[in-house]
Amino acid sequence: MYRLSPYTYLIEGLLGQAIGHQEINCSPVEFVSVEPLSGQTCQQFLGPYMSMAGGYITNPTATSSCQFCSFRTTDEFMGLTFNIFWHHHWRNFGFMIAFILFNVSF
């Protein structure tokens, strides 16, 4: 029923446009401290993971105690947490028009 509700597309369209494409800065208590393998910098150790899952590190050249934040943009956060994507805004607009036309015609 989630996908059949027009409110799903309305909320995704409005929130995606309102808070999408914004940068997130974690507070000091939100950082995760990670120890890289010996001989690697934080960037070398966490780089492959960040390219797949997102996030950022505050000390990329450090060789110990990497400070990692799991989200860099609001798009990453909303996509993984709420299944809301900024790039769906025209699709959502089309669905809303389709819902309106369907309800007006019947």
Q: Starting at the edge strand that comes first in sequence, how are the strands of the sheet with 66-69 ordered? A: 32-34, 66-69, 56-57
- Note the pTM of the prediction, 2 decimals: 0.75
Strands 32-34 and 66-69: antiparallel
Residue-wise pLDDT for 6-57, tens only, equals 899 999 999 988 999 999 999 999 999 999 999 999 999 999 999 998 999 9
The pLDDT value given to residue 102: 93
**CA-angle at 92, arms to 87 and 76, nearest 5°:** 35
Whole-number mean pLDDT of the chain?
A: 93
More confident residue, 78 or 3: 78
Domain ranges of the chain: 23-73
More confident residue, 106 or 44: 44
Decide if pLDDT at 2 tops 80.
no
**Cα 12 versus chain centre, distance:** 13
